Chain A
Amino acid sequence: AQSVTQLDSQVPVFEEAPVELRCNYSSSVSVYLFWYVQYPNQGLQLLLKYLSGSTLVKGINGFEAEFNKSQTSFHLRKPSVHISDTAEYFCAVRLLNYGGSQGNLIFGKGTKLSVKP
């Protein structure tokens, strides 16, 4: 069965420090990969996506992620975080098969990033 694992449920970090939020997936078919961010009491906002091409993708707010097919990973990174980056981050995959729920996203459990001054 397909699954997404976010290895850290909570990540505390000081302002201006670098951060990496880890994501691994399991799938027998090719996938699209996404990171979404959720601020308190809000919906999900797309940070970045990998559909094809370069494995290093850049998103909004200075975030980037690298797709590693051999390790089935899609870790999210930012070189210097701000207080405003405090939020919950979700990794998600969309399967590229042609049966069943091929359209929906499968989400990880989320990582709460807490940026401290």
Chain B
Amino acid sequence: GAGVSQSPSNKVTEKGKDVELRCDPISGHTALYWYRQSLGQGLEFLIYFQGNSAPDKSGLPSDRFSAERTGGSVSTLTIQRTQQEDSAVYLCASSPQGAGEQYFGPGTRLTVT
């Protein structure tokens, strides 16, 4: 079946611009996660959606970062006023109810110039 998909695969933006990154989870998965992978920081948790519950935003690095999940499916991660330190690969993952493991998408490579 179809896995987690993310778009765009690559995004180059100028410092100060806003960007939106999209994630389509595996159909039927109730949980959705965003992570950031960078050379200096490794893999960091950003935000977690579980069903209709309020999202866990404890990993968001600043208030420039936000995310939403519409209809319990597709999610968008928005970064406002991008900075060079936001350059990283943004990974999305989904998980079915009650499962331990998460399934990852291919990621979006964001470059802020």
Contacts and interface: CB of A to CB of B under 8 A. Distances in A.
Interface string A12-45: 0000000000000000000010101000001111
Most buried by B among A36, A51, A101, A106: A101
B42 A103 contact: no
Contacts of A32: 100
A104 interface: yes
Nearest to A102: B56
Given A43-B91, A44-B91, A109-B42, A103 B48 contact: yes
Interface residues of B, number: 23
Contact of A34 (B31, B33, B101, B105): B101
A44 to B, nearest CB: 4
A100 B50 CA distance: 13
A101 B45 contact: yes
Interface of B: 4, 31, 33, 35, 42-43, 45, 48, 50, 56, 58-59, 91, 93, 95, 100-107
